[in-house]
Homo-oligomer: A and B are copies of this chain.
Amino acid sequence: MDAEQAAKTKLKEIGMRITPQRVLILKNIIAMNGHLTAEEIHRELPSFITLATVYNNLKYFAELNLINELSFGSSCSKYELADTSHYHVICESCQQIADFNYPLLNEVEYAAAQVAHFKVHRHTLEFYGLCQECKKKK
């Protein structure tokens, strides 16, 4: 299935109206497969799509758990598809984000829920440091 079909399918699954704007935004997130800012996504889209529309839809998508909003580090949020489980390694110098695949810490999540008396449904784990290039520069 290509990115366009995948985008439409996902929109249908979560019960959102299928507009050309949404299909294009989501298709790009799927195709680019990274950690993108609203600006970066907008830049790839045909110019009839407003940045405001991008922001509004990213917000909806995130609320419906279609994408994750990553708000650590730099001043603006980054977005990624929510279909794989992984953690993040972030360079404090150049802000790049690398994915880190590792078994989910479900026992820790369970312990946190017990101790804090929360109903926990997800967790994130971020590592901060210097990437290889920035390491060399210092």
B residues near A100, Cβ cutoff 8 Å:
111-112, 115-116
Interface string of A93-132 (1 = CB under 8 A from B): 0000010111001001101110111111111111111111
B128 to A125, Cβ gap below 8 A? Answer: no
If A124-B125, A126-B123, A126-B124 touch, whether A111 touches B102 (CB-CB below 8 Å) is yes
Q: B111 near A121 (CB under 8 angstroms)?
A: no
A1 to chain B, nearest CB (A): 30
Alpha-carbon separation in the docked complex, A132 to B120 (Å):
11
A102 to B128, CA, bound (A): 19
Sample of 10 further A-B pairs with CB below 8 A, known A117-B131, A122-B128, A123-B126: A71-B73, A89-B120, A101-B115, A102-B111, A105-B125, A109-B127, A121-B129, A122-B127, A124-B125, A125-B126
